[in-house]
Structure formats: structure tokens, C-alpha cells
Structure 1
Amino acid sequence: MTSTLSRREAVHEAAAAGIPAALADLGTLVRIPSIAWPAFDQTQVRRSAEAVAALIGGTGVFDSVEVKTAAIPGTDEVGQPAVLARRAARNGRPTVLLYAHHDVQPPGDDALWDTPPFEPTVRDGRLYGRGAADDKAGIMAHVASIRALTEAVGTDFDLGISMFIEGEEEFGSRSFGQFLADNADALRSDVIVVADSGNWDAVTPALTVSLRGNARFTLKIRTLEHASHSGMFGGAVPDAMMAAVKLLATMWDADGAVAVAGLTQRDAETPEYTEDTLRSEAGLPAGVSPVGTGTILSRIWNKPSITITGIDHTSVAAASNTLAPEVSVVISSRVAPGQSAKDAYEAIAAHLRAHAPWGAELEFSDIDCGDAFLVDTSGWAVADARAALAEGYGVDPVDIGVGGSIPFIADLVREFPGAQILVTGVEDPHARAHSPNESLHLETFRHAVLAEALLLESLDAREA
């Protein structure tokens, strides 16, 4: 048996040597347009799952690798195909569950991409393509770290490993809870690594310790029984768009901060983060002011936000002199840690009902709520993860909050209350996940693979 030091050195060498193959495999996955939305080719999601299963099976360490689905509760449908792999722990070692997702966001307007969204392209130290960062890089970080571990210590190690690569995270994880229940024994673990977050910057690793929740719904605003001539009746009759503008504007104050009674905020300190950094990372032009009050990161990590993410109304090209009878909008709220998403939704709905102008009729539908998450940082797995990140990146990690949401983590906590959950990722602030020109910073990926391989090695050396 080699010493712990020599094992660590071997992991370093194996992780570095495996990067070219990992990036080639990542490129293969990026070429598959695995979009879970029904409007897109669903056979591509199955193709993606099978490709991921082949990569996982190719590591040679798992007792079983399957492509599986689960029912969507309350419907006659099944969810998108996921990949489930399992290797049993031996000799008192712990089991780690590695999570990522192989579905991706739609590309949006192809004209906004500098290169085709599903043709992986390397330039200026980054790999461009839809899913290159979110979250096919997370899949390949898992696969590459297992490859590095086996190259360094052989396949006869004692650590138990499960992998769950979901196929519908970008589409609401509709069958996630049922999948957990159906496969609880295969997924049960001591540590869960969720590779679907980001880092402080391109060189500094992070452990995500808080995530905002989300409350998303569709609101229909109706003021007329039918469309009417805007010249004949405008000035006396409120149309739906007029009511929508008035109503939606009540949700923010003059500073752009959320002004909905009943939404709470978390009281927690945040590290220094300048307006210049915000402008650079978010693409905020010099002439546009940030919104909200308090420190910038408190607005993103610890306070609620409300965004109108979609609207159904007459297009500019089809505009006519007509009073619209109804307008539908999608409202997406991020919920501060510490408040349930359901309570946040009820507060927003109550606010809208109370402020509906001119007796406008409101209808709420497609309600989707996911709770926020706060990590317990006192466990041994967090200490092991921080040490692995520091060694893998050569820079001490920082604990961060994230303004986005990963609602399924609440399902993981409910199903596996004894597991320690680590939220990590390979994205840097310029990854542009969900946006045109999404990309992966290649140096960050190299460090992420090494850090995870080192974490697996330390878990293999630890008795459960």
C-alpha cells in the first residue's frame, strides 16, 4: 500500500493527464441538444442520457449503470431519462453521491451566439457551447475525478460511489422527488456532492452555503370581455396592458427593491463586492444604475427579487389600434433563505390581488415553488471539501451564497436527512449560463477535476 502522500501525488498526476480526454468527452456531450422542453426533440434527451451512461460505465468501477425514468406525480406522464450508477462501499468506508444534470437550456436566438450553440468551440481559454458549463461540465468533473482516482489507486478501492445525472433540472425537476423515492436504496449516501453551482471568480474556488428559493407562476390580467377599438374607447376603458403596467409596477419601490409585504430577508454578512465587479460580471452598462438597497451581495444572496420573465401580448410587428382584453405574464421570484417558497408565493399573490387597478380580474396558474437552502457547515465532509478545494486550486476556498435556486436540494434533505450536502461547481462569474455564448473556463475545469479527485481520495481513506 502506498503512503497517503504518494496517493495524493498520484492523484495530482492522473487528474492533469486526464484533462484532454475529459474535454473531448465534454465536447461530445455538448453536441447533443438535450433540451427537456416538450417543444424540442425529446429523442435527444434520451441520446444524451445514453451517452452519459456510457461514459460512467467506461470508468469500470460501478456495479450497475442504468438509464431510468420516474413518474411525474399527479400526471400520467414520466419524467426525462436520468442515469443512475452504484458502487457499494466496502470495509467501513463512506458512500458519496455525485449529482449533476445532462439537460440544458434552449439556446435562444442563434444569431446572438458568436459560434453555433451546439458546436463546442475553444477560444481565449474558454470552451463555448450550450451546456459547456451548466451542467455537462459538472458531469465530466465527476467522471474525470473518478478516472483520476482509479488511475492513482486502482479500481479496488473501498469508497462507495453513487451517481445521479438528472435529465430535467432545467425543466423543473418534475419527477425528481419520485425518482428519489423509487431509488432510495441506490442513492442513500453519507455525502452528496451537487456539481451545479459556481466559484467566487476564475481562480478562487467556492463552497455554496446558501441558495435562494423560487416562486414562479403565470398571472393572467383581464379587463374586457373582448377587444375593442382604442380610438373609440381609449381614455375611458382600461385595457389589460394598461392594468398590467400599473399593477406590476407596485411590486418595486423607487430604488427597485421589492416592495411586497410578507417577503422576508436574511440577516447575514456578505464579503466585499464592488459595483465595478457587478457591472463586469452581469454586463451592466455604465449608464444604468444597479437596483435595490444594502450591500450588493445582500441583494443577490439574502433578499428577495421579482422578475417578469415572459409576457403574452400582441407583438410589435402585429400591433394594431386595439384595447387588449387580457395579458398573461410569468412572474419569477427568488426567495430569501429562511422563508418557505409557498409563503412567498402567497405574499406576492395577496399583494397583486390587493393592488389590482380598476377591478381587473386576476387568474393564477402554473405555480412552481422551490425552497431555499442553507448548508450546515459543521460536518467533517465540509472540512474535507474545503481542504480538497484549497489543494486543487492552490487558493483557499470561500463560502458563498448564490442568488439562484436549486429547489431539488430540499428533496434531497427530506429523503436523506443524515447526508452531508456539498454544493460545488465549475462555473466562474463569466460563464453566462442560460445565456447566449455560455462557456467554461478551462483552467477552472482543470482545478475542479483535481479538487474533486482529491476529495474522493480523502473519502476513500476515511472510515464512515
Structure 2
Amino acid sequence: MNSQLPAEPQLIDAAEGGIPSALADLGRLVRIPGIAWPAFDQEQLQRSAQAIAQLAEDTGVFDEVRVRTAAIPETGEQGQPAVLATRAARNGRPTVMLYAHHDVQPPGDEALWETPPFEPTVRDGRLYGRGAADDKAGVMAHIAALRALRETYGDDLDLGIVLFVEGEEEYGSRSFTSFLADHAEEMRSDVIVVADSGNWDAETPAVTVSLRGNAKFHLTVRTLDHASHSGMFGGAVPDAMMATIRLLSTLWNDDGSVAVDGLAAREAETPAYDEDTLRSETGLLPGVQPIGNGSILSRIWNKPSITVTGIDFTRVAAASNTLSPEVTVVVSARVAPGQSAQDAYDAIERHLRAHAPFGAELAFSEIDLGNGFLVDTSGWAVETARGAMRDGYGKDPVDLGVGGSIPFIADLVERYPGAQILVTGVEDPHSRAHSPNESLHLDTFRHAVLAETLLLARANARTV
């Protein structure tokens, strides 16, 4: 470890010593099934927010800790509860915002979990449970780092800190812009740390420098005004499923790359990453070949992709000999960094309308757009973060692109254009976020806490 500041050896000891209690608190959070989808018990999100507010209060760092909601712009309804804790900077020190989210994905088919999704279980050096990695580990990395700072500095800490733990990130951050507007000045920060990304692997840290955007929508394909007997009229009447299959197939080339005019790709170098690594990290079956062209990471980080993630149609057990009049699918597109999500959606809609088979009627609804992001790596915060990661993990960090999307980062940039954005995280490629058997690598969490503690301590030594 480098000892650039007199307090760093004590800081490291404090952070290391706090890991067991941080993991115990993480386990308690994992037991709370806080899911923002309306079909789930919304009281659990209140429980989760209150638990995190208490953890923030107990650090002794903050001037004020509150649980707040904000209005959803489209409906005026209140969004899900977020935790906002603030501490004013002193003696010219910067203010750092620490972001994470406490809501989680639904568990999906619980039969696919080896242990119950909301019962934290340690196995082979990993903590299993929904939210164990995404993103309650991000919450606890912040809390653990703040505990170490408080233990080391006591009342001498000058750094300004905003802790913002959102309650609806997995449900589209619907009230995010309103929340920022409602609390614009008290959340104003010089540096924003978004702990909702991942690392190169379980041992190698990463600074996320690019994120794809997203364009998600529901597509309804209609060919009949009522269902008909498939034996009586099949062969003359196009049913909605036939039309949907034909239409969706036009979205991809034969190699699986996207075949939509108007979708952009970003040109950028990517690190070495081979097919064996891809197979290991994704579970790709032995006989199944990867799709797309170019380097593997360019396909994931810098090119568009289109996935059909849901379908409304007759289930297998209830199938009958019927020509279906209507099919609805959910289309999820990832947009290359640098292209607006609106332009990408417009290109996909034009393509689908132009390729509708047999004159099928198309309807588009539930459109959800989020822009990608390219991090400005020229500021002091990125270099400070890289150094803190190098010391916290014992390995040089990697600049990482991510194929997923964090659309609210664009909202943060718009609200605070002068802030330096750091996108970090505690996930590794085997964390299986959003999937059954989600897990957190325990050593990765320990290193992430050490790195964040050092980052905040070094920020505390700066003036702005």
C-alpha cells in the first residue's frame, strides 16, 4: 500500500476491521425483497429505505438523513422511496456524491435458485441472494467506507458527502429527474461516484468509461380482428405469430449482428478478450456460436444489439389449433455510446414499419429511452480513483466499457455539468446480476471497500 497521507495505515485497518459487520448488514438488506414493480409488496421498499437511512445515521457522518420521494413527471404519482443523507464540506474541501440503489430485480423462477433468493447464503467465497451484488453491495461499500472515515478522522473530516440511495433504478428511475430538481442544491457535488457497475474480473478493478444507451418498447402485431380455426383457414390467412416471426427476423443479419439502418457503432480499441472467456462468463452452450462481427468486446461495448425479452401469447399448456389475431413482444435495444436513444428508437420503428409482412398492423407502446454515456477521464477524480483502486485491490485498474445502460447518469450530467463522474462497482463477470443465483465475490467486496475508503480520504486532502 502507498501511504500518501498520514492517516492511510489507520484507514486501511479501520476498513479491513469493518468488513465483517458490513457483510452482516448486507445480509440483513438482502433479506428485504424490495422490488419496485407494482405487482410486488411496496411496503418492502419502505422497509429497505428505512433500514439504509438508519445505517447512514449510525455512521455519525451526516448532518441530515431523510427518506424522500418525488413525483413521476408523466403521471404526477409519487415514485419509490430514496435515502438522501448530506454533510456540508468544510475548509474548502470538495463534495462527493455516493450513489447506489436499494431496489432489486424480481427473483424470477425460484426453482432455478440453488438457495432461496432472499436468504443470503455464503458458498465458495461468494454471497448468494437477490441484490447481494446489484446493488445492495454498492450501498454497503459506501456505508463501510464512511464508517472507516469516521473511525479514523472523527470530527476532523472536512469532506462534503451526499449519499443518495435510489429506490427504483431497476424500474426505470421514473422519478429521478424530479428528485434531482427537488434537491438540486443540497445534492450539488464536485464528484459523483456511481457504484452500480462491475470489474474486469473478481481480482482486477475497473473504472467504467463507456455505457451503451437503451431503447425499450412493446410491439403489437395484429393481422385479424378475431381468432380463427387454423385448419379451416391456415394456408390462406396470415396469423399474428407468423407475421411477428417474419418481422422480427429482419432485425438481424445472418451472423446475428443488427440489420437496422440508422443504428450507429462506435469505433474504439478494446482489450484482449477471447471466446473461451465469453463462454465461461455467459454459460454459452458448447455447440452454440457467438453472434456478430468484430472483436467480442466491441460487439458488447460499442455496437448496438436487439433482444426480444418478453412475449404475450398462448402458453404451451393451453395451446389450441387457432390462428392468433395479435401478438405483443417486448423489444430491448442497446444503443452504441454517442448515439441518442431517440434516434436509435426512430430507426428501429422505421425499419419495423417498412418490413411489416402481409400488411400486418403494428402498434408501439411503453417506450422507454435512455442515453448512453462516455466518461471524461481528464479530471483529477479519475486519476485519484485509479490510484485508490490500485492500492485497494493490489492490481492496476482497467478502463472498462459496459454493454448495459445506466440512463440516469445523463440526467446527473445535465443537472451538474461541472461534476466529475466515476462509475465503479463491486460486481464481477460471474455475479449474474438480474439472473437466478446472483452473487457477490466476498474478496472483491473487501477490496472495493478499501479502494473507496482511500478514494474518499484522498479527496478529503484536496481543496476546490
Deviation at 1:5, TM superposition (A): 3.9
Report the equivalent of 1:20. 20
Distance in 1 (alpha carbons) for counterparts of 2:76 and 2:128: 38
Deviations 1:307-353 (A, max 9, x none): 00000000000000000000000000000001000000000000000
Match of 2:171 in 1: 171
Please name the residue that 2:86 is paired with. Answer: 86
- Matched residues in 2 for 1:140 and 1:421: separation? 20
- What residue number does 1:410 align with? 410
* Residue in structure 2 matched with residue 302 of structure 1 by the alignment: 302
Number of the residue aligned with 2:439: 439
Residue in 2 that maps onto 1:323: 323
- For structure 2, the residue ranges without an aligned partner over 5 or more in a row are none
Residue correspondences, number? 462
CA distance in 2, matches of 1:386, 1:28: 31
The within-5 A match list for 1:253-268 is 253-268=253-268
> 1: CA distance between counterparts of 2:154 and 2:413?
32
CA–CA distance in structure 1, aligned partners of residues 199 and 213 of structure 2 = 19
Match of 2:220 in 1: 220
State the alpha-carbon separation in 2 of the partners of residues 397 and 349 from structure 1: 40
What does the per-residue CA deviation read over 1:28-61, in whole Å, with 9 as the maximum and x for residues that have no partner? Answer: 0000000000000000001100000000010001
Whether the 8 Å CA contact 1:63–1:86 is kept in 2: the answer is yes
Q: Look up the equivalent residue of 1:263 and give its one-letter code.
A: L
Cα distance between partner residues in 2 of 1:421 and 1:338: 17
SS in 1 for 2:156: coil
Q: What is aligned with 1:115?
A: 115
Distance 1:121 1:7 in 2: 35
The alignment's TM-score, normalised by the length of structure 1, stands at: 0.99
Question: Within 5 Å, which residues of 2 pair with 1:130-169?
Answer: 130-169=130-169
Unpaired runs of 5+ in structure 1?
none
> Secondary structure in 2 aligned to 1:75?
coil
Whether the 8 Å contact between 1:197 and 1:427 is mirrored in structure 2 is yes
SS at match of 1:192: strand
Query: Partner residue of 1:234?
Result: 234
For residues 9-408 of structure 1, the aligned pairs below 5 Å read 9-408=9-408
Q: What do residues 345-387 of structure 1 show as CA deviations (whole Å, max 9, x unaligned)?
A: 0000000000000000000000000000000000000010000
Q: Report the secondary structure of 1:425's partner residue.
A: strand
Q: Which moved more, 1:419-428 or 1:154-163?
A: 154-163
Query: Structure 2: how far apart are the matches of 1:460 and 1:379?
Result: 16
SS at match of 1:258: coil
Give 1:145's aligned amino acid: A
Q: 8 Å contact 1:206–1:400 — kept in the other structure?
A: yes
How far did 1:76 drift? 3.0
1:428 paired with 2:428, answer yes
For the 8 Å contact 1:306–1:332, the answer to whether it is kept is yes
Q: Deviations over 1:252-295 (max 9, x none)?
A: 00000000000000000100001000000011011100000000
Report % sequence identity.
Answer: 75
Q: Which runs of 4+ in 1 moved over 4 A?
A: none
Q: Which amino acid aligns with 2:393?
A: Y
Give secondary structure in 2 for the equivalent of 1:197. Answer: strand
Per-residue deviation, residues 366-412 of structure 1 (Å, max 9, x unmatched) = 00000000000000000100000000000000101000000000000
Give the Cα–Cα distance (whole angstroms) in 2 for the partners of residues 132 and 234 of structure 1: 50
How far residue 186 of structure 1 moved from its aligned partner, in angstroms, is: 1.3
1:113 and 1:155 mapped to 2: Cα distance?
45
- In structure 1, what residue type is equivalent to 2:352? L
Asked whether the 8 Å contact 1:60–1:155 carries over to 2, the reply is no
More moved, 149-158 vs 360-369:
149-158
Separation in 2, partners of 1:306, 1:178: 30
By how many angstroms is 1:214 displaced? 0.0
How many Å separate the matches in 1 of 2:281 and 2:153? 40
Q: SS of the counterpart of 2:155? A: coil
Give me the CA root mean square deviation.
Answer: 0.7
Distance 1:174 1:76 in 2: 11
- How far apart are the structure 2 equivalents of 1:117 and 1:271? 34
SS at match of 2:281: helix
C-alpha distance in 2, partners of 1:255/1:168? 36
Q: CA deviation at 1:156?
A: 2.6
1:139 aligned counterpart, secondary structure: helix
Once the 2 structures are TM-superposed, how far is the Cα of residue 153 of structure 1 from its aligned partner? 1.9
Q: Please say if residues 217 and 331 of structure 1, whose CA atoms lie closer than 8 Å, have aligned partners that are also in contact.
A: yes
Aligned-partner Cα distance in 2 for 1:251–1:436: 28
Query: What is the Cα deviation at residue 4 of structure 1?
Result: 5.0
SS of corresponding position for 2:343: helix
Q: Distance in 1 between matches of 2:451 and 2:281?
A: 25
* C-alpha distance in structure 2 between counterparts of 1:100 and 1:124, whole Å: 26
